[in-house]
Copies of this chain bind each other. A is one copy, B any other.
């Protein structure tokens, strides 16, 4: 399973010289794709098919639902690429077999619990107002509000796609070659990044920063991974809490995009001060190219920050490098994360 080198959204139909009414129709109705996928996950339909049920009547019995409903949903899922259909009924495609059958070790259906949170989704219905008012459509400061409960859901549900990325990010730190290491994991969330460092380096001690309710999820994941003895919790706001450095490495995953340039620089200064000379900061981000329209997934992520935060953005490597320099760091290196639309930024403190 690999992402394409430059992961693209399901190809916006190629732009031709002709107006394309199907693009218009499809975009007006695109939300139905999300709704159909969410419904199928909710009904655990892919597991039912994976277990060998193939007809609407077999699947209706499995879902305790109506045959008409199951048949229409399965046909729609076939149209959008999650099932195939022949005279015998429906079958999983490689994508649904890998990600959406509960019996698959890579089952990822839980991520709909976060991605489909009503308070997140409804923000997109107010994008025009967001643009007019220059604010987020969410209550308060959106997902950057103190102790926003969405991050507990995030920590609990978003782990399936993180595992390989966490291992790769951990390797960037372990690559620094320090056996005994205190590692700060800022905005730890589910904790998988720091936990992966601890799993790969039995001498590493992790200090995880996040809101208290989120840290309980990270702590439970650390316990499951058997690293809880080397997993310390530091509850609070990353911008104001005492990091209790110095550290041999700092992880900063998926946090900067929520804030404006100035806030990012102020956080990076704090990190710089808490990092030992010669040690590494590894930042994980959605990093679009300078054109801001490619690759599609990281570039499109800006819209999420527009909906959910007052001032966040998907920053280019040039912008991130500039922030890091303003905070006292030297040169940074961009490292594409395999099988992921994200980029790791590796920065050494001199």
- Contacts from A to B (Cβ < 8 Å): 1-4, 7-13, 15-39, 42-43, 63-66, 68-73, 75-76, 78-82, 84-85, 93-95, 97-100, 106, 108, 111-112, 115-116, 118, 121, 124-125, 127-128, 130-134, 161, 291-294, 296-297, 299-300, 302-307, 311, 313, 339, 341
Contact = CB atoms under 8 A, between A and B. Distances in A.
Nearest to A25: B297
Contacts of A71: 292
A1 B16 CA distance: 11
Q: How many copies does the complex hold?
A: 2
Contact of A69 (B82, B134, B341): B134
A64 B32 CA distance: 31
Given A9-B22, A10-B11, A11-B13, 9 more contacts: A10-B22, A15-B93, A27-B82, A38-B127, A65-B132, A73-B127, A75-B292, A79-B293, A118-B125
Nearest to A22: B7
Contacts of A65: 131-132, 134
B12 A79 contact: yes
Given A39-B128, A341-B25, A72 B15 contact: no
Given A35-B31, A293-B85, A69 B18 contact: no
Nearest to A304: B32
